[in-house]
Chains A and B, each alone.
Chain A
Amino acid sequence: MAYRAEDDYDYLFKVVLIGDSGVGKSNLLSRFTRNEFSLESKSTIGVEFATRSIRVDDKVVKAQIWDTAGQERYRAITSAYYRGAVGALVVYDVTRHVTFENVERWLKELRDHTDANIVIMLVGNKADLRHLRAVSVEDAKGFAERESTFFMETSALESMNVESAFTEVLTQIYRVVSKKALDIGDDPAAPPRGQTINVGGKDDVSAVKKSGCCSS
């Protein structure tokens, strides 16, 4: 392969992190982009973002991941935040059931502000806190299926599944985009059904998840 400059890329995808305050959005971001985790991180005020490139097939996919404050009050800045997003991680905290209940509102907001083709993954973070679990894998998986989103449990602290979650979202976006470029219709294997195009099917992701964690 030809030499490539460090920040050269084939695709640039904007991905947003959403979910209630304190579920671990910023630590997921820092774990994925810098392999860092902090128990004493500052609460996010306003908007932050970080980038990381990964390889999908023979292409370099650069993710520009946006992170914002989770508090309801900050919803006022949303339209700018969501603009151009092609992927989203909707994060809840497996130890706080209310953050899972609120996922529905986050999904609604996401769908109100983004393209119908956006790739969404439901992420149950803090899966390392096994003794404090308040949301079962089954419930979350069922919910994700009904909402046609991908699903994974992660632990930013233990660095579990963080890589997989982001990589999966980026790969799926890549599939959507490259398929679009090839003119949809060529591929009978991916018929769009309903409003959300379910690229590749959710099973792939569940498989990754199963092998990765959550024997509890």
Chain B
Amino acid sequence: MDKKKAIDESEPGPAPSHAVDRFGFIKPEQSNRPDGIPKGRSIHEREREERRIRKWRKMIGIGGSDWKHYVRRNPYVVKRRIRKGIPDCLRGLVWQLISGSRDLLLMNPGVYETLVIYETSASELEIIRDISRTFPTHVFFQQRHGLGQRSLYNILKAYSVYDRDVGYVQGMGFLAGLLLLYMSEEDAFWLLVALLKGAVHAPMEGLYQGIKVVFQVGLALLSFCHDDLVKLPFEKLLHSLRNFPEEATDPDVLLPLAFSFKVSSHLEEFQNEYHKQHEGTSEISSSKRLQPLISKKDEQIRN
């Protein structure tokens, strides 16, 4: 969750009294970094990014019109390009296409508006309490009752009504907030739905990574920092696990390493073992597919 809306450096900053980083987070005061000059991207990197954007634009077509066609014909090209990184300026659109949330939006005209305006949720107070505690140092969410905070509230309330079994769960705000940095409120709502409940038919069916990739990236981070981590006493571990060094989070290094881990069969074994342990105590269907569905996880845990 560390990709925030890129603020174009040539634009005047939204809050002149604060310096923000390129994702929109207010920088801690006087960060006395030894390399005081921000690392500019090399010409080579910028050219590569521009090439990528051109390829992606061609692939998705205007407003996503060519996307489905392209995925059906060249699924592995799409997969490879996703792994290389979706250009930041296209992420908002591409996430909606990949997840199928764009279809949810088109199939449910007016639904979001109804949820926001007419429905009440049992979680309203809980949500309100967390609004100012979600990305409190980000320029978009910082202002009390500002656009960011209002949109965030609307989405979370709407979701808690739309999916009453799950309702509101702390942490959802950070997910919804991130989406809001890339797209409109309504688009972000349906993407949240697609992420948490699953879309009706995921257009990326065959390429779906599910929770596998979470483990792969986790393992890559751990193995990258292995030598330092194993030296640490228990109490220092938590800090280090939350603050990985910058070189460890460079996607061009991290992701190839992540995808080198083969975890599918292991995860399946663990899942089977888990289901065996919880047989009889749980009423959920023992779906074999590994899905990052919060609602399902929640049911399993509750039982």
State whether the Cβ of A43 lies closer than 8 Å to any Cβ in chain B: yes
State whether the Cβ of B301 lies closer than 8 Å to any Cβ in chain A: yes
Say whether chain A's binding surface is mostly helix, strand, loop, or mixed.
Answer: loop
Known contacts: A22-B129, A40-B137. The answer to whether A45 contacts B174 by CB under 8 A is yes
| A-side contacts of B301, CB under 8 Å | 76
Give chain A interface residues in 133-192, CB to chain B under 8 Å. none
Known contacts: A21-B126, A76-B302. The answer to whether A69 contacts B170 by CB under 8 A is yes
Kindly list 4 other residue pairs between chains A and B, CB separation below 8 angstroms, not including A40-B137, A43-B133.
A41-B136, A42-B135, A43-B171, A76-B301
Does the CB pair B132–A40 fall under 8 Å? yes
A7-50 Cβ-contact flags toward B at 8 Å (1 or 0): 00000000000000110000000000000000011110100110
Complex CA gap A64/B169 in Å reads 27
Complex CA gap A76/B133 in Å reads 22
In-complex Cβ contact of B136 among A42, A48, A64, A69 (8 A): A42
Ordered by A's residue number, 29 sampled pairs between the chains whose C-beta atoms are within 8 Å are A21-B126, A21-B129, A21-B130, A21-B170, A22-B129, A22-B130, A40-B137, A41-B133, A42-B134, A42-B135, A42-B136, A43-B130, A43-B133, A43-B134, A43-B170, A45-B170, A45-B174, A48-B238, A49-B235, A51-B235, A64-B235, A69-B171, A71-B126, A71-B170, A73-B169, A73-B170, A73-B298, A76-B298, A76-B302
Find the residue from A69, A73, A76 having the highest chain B CB count within 10 A. Answer: A73
Does the CB pair A40–B126 fall under 8 Å? no
User: How large, as a class, is the contact surface on chain B?
Assistant: 10 to 19
A residues lining the B interface (CB < 8 Å): 21-22, 40-43, 45, 48-49, 51, 64, 69, 71, 73-74, 76
| A-side contacts of B238, CB under 8 Å | 48-49
| B-side contacts of A49, CB under 8 Å | 235, 238
Complex CA gap A216/B235 in Å reads 40
Complex CA gap A132/B233 in Å reads 43
Minimum CB–CB distance for A185 against chain B, Å:
35
Complex CA gap A176/B136 in Å reads 41
Give chain B interface residues in 245-303, CB to chain A under 8 Å. 298, 301-302
B162-201 Cβ-contact flags toward A at 8 Å (1 or 0): 0000000111011000000000000000000000000000
Minimum CB–CB distance for A100 against chain B, Å:
16
Does the CB pair A74–B136 fall under 8 Å? no
B77-109 Cβ-contact flags toward A at 8 Å (1 or 0): 000000000000000000000000000000000
Complex CA gap A40/B174 in Å reads 15
Residue of A whose beta carbon sits closest to that of B128: A22
Does the CB pair A45–B171 fall under 8 Å? yes
Residue of A whose beta carbon sits closest to that of B298: A73
| A-side contacts of B302, CB under 8 Å | 76
Minimum CB–CB distance for A3 against chain B, Å:
20
Residue of A whose beta carbon sits closest to that of B173: A43
Does the CB pair A74–B170 fall under 8 Å? yes
| B-side contacts of A74, CB under 8 Å | 170
Complex CA gap A45/B137 in Å reads 17
Complex CA gap A78/B47 in Å reads 50
| B-side contacts of A73, CB under 8 Å | 169-170, 298
| A-side contacts of B235, CB under 8 Å | 49, 51, 64
Complex CA gap A11/B133 in Å reads 35
Complex CA gap A76/B302 in Å reads 6
The 5 A-B pairs with the shortest beta carbon distances in the complex, nearest first, are A76-B301, A40-B136, A43-B133, A71-B170, A45-B171
| A-side contacts of B134, CB under 8 Å | 42-43
Give chain B interface residues in 106-135, CB to chain A under 8 Å. 126, 129-130, 132-135
Minimum CB–CB distance for B118 against chain A, Å:
26
Does the CB pair A42–B169 fall under 8 Å? no
| B-side contacts of A69, CB under 8 Å | 170-171
Complex CA gap A37/B169 in Å reads 25
B229-246 Cβ-contact flags toward A at 8 Å (1 or 0): 000000100100000000
Complex CA gap A115/B252 in Å reads 49
